[in-house]
């Protein structure tokens, strides 16, 4: 687990997150996709104005809806936000992180098989980038870059 403070206890109560605020006790499940091009570049999105961490770069994805699998959520979010159809994706890793505004459980998938070109359907900027020199990054994304560097060209 990576994060900036403690997470919820086994009783499901909120706990301090290290910023003086309270994060929700139960984590929000989030499907996150790492699209990898043949040259190893990955697709990153920049959080739009009005959202927490506006201007920070992250891997695209979104919340898992009730009754939906994580992979179904990933595919839905990529159609809704980017206009991309993911044909296949491999579950890679999971991380929990407590932000000042949310406690999230991030489910990361790697895909090299999709159709379409990224479109900004929800006001975000998107860019194909290497894993070095991208700033600012969401805190939960930072530890993934070293791990991702090992699998980028796999």
Does domain 28-151 sit in CATH 3.90.78.10?
no
Render pLDDT for 59-84 as a digit per residue (tens, 0 to 9).
999 999 999 999 999 999 999 999 99
Render pLDDT for 25-61 as a digit per residue (tens, 0 to 9).
789 999 999 999 998 889 999 988 888 889 999 999 9
Strand spans (E) along 55-102:
57-58, 61-63, 85-98
Lowest mean pLDDT among 15-24, 74-83, 88-97: 15-24
Higher-pLDDT residue of 12 and 22 is 22
Pairwise CA distance, residues 29 & 26, whole Å:
9
Render pLDDT for 103-146 as a digit per residue (tens, 0 to 9).
999 999 999 999 999 998 888 899 998 866 778 887 777 777 76
> What does the longest C-alpha to C-alpha distance in the chain come to?
46
């Amino acid at each position: 687990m990576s994060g900036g403070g403690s997470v919820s206890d086994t009783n499901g109560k909120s706990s301090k997150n290290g910023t003086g605020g309270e994060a929700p006790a139960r984590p929000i499940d989030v499907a996150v996709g790492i699209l990898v091009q043949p040259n190893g570049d990955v697709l990153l999105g920049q959080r739009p104005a009005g959202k927490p961490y506006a201007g920070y770069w992250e891997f695209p994805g979104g919340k898992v809806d009730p009754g939906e699998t994580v992979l179904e959520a990933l595919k839905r979010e990529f159609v809704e936000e980017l206009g991309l159809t993911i044909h296949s994706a491999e579950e890679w890793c999971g991380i929990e992180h407590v932000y000042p505004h949310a406690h999230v459980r991030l489910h990361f998938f790697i895909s090299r098989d999709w159709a379409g070109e990224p479109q900004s359907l929800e006001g975000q900027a998107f860019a194909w980038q290497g894993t070095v020199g991208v700033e600012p990054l969401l805190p939960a994304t930072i530890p993934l870059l070293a791990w991702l560097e090992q699998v980028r060209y796999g």
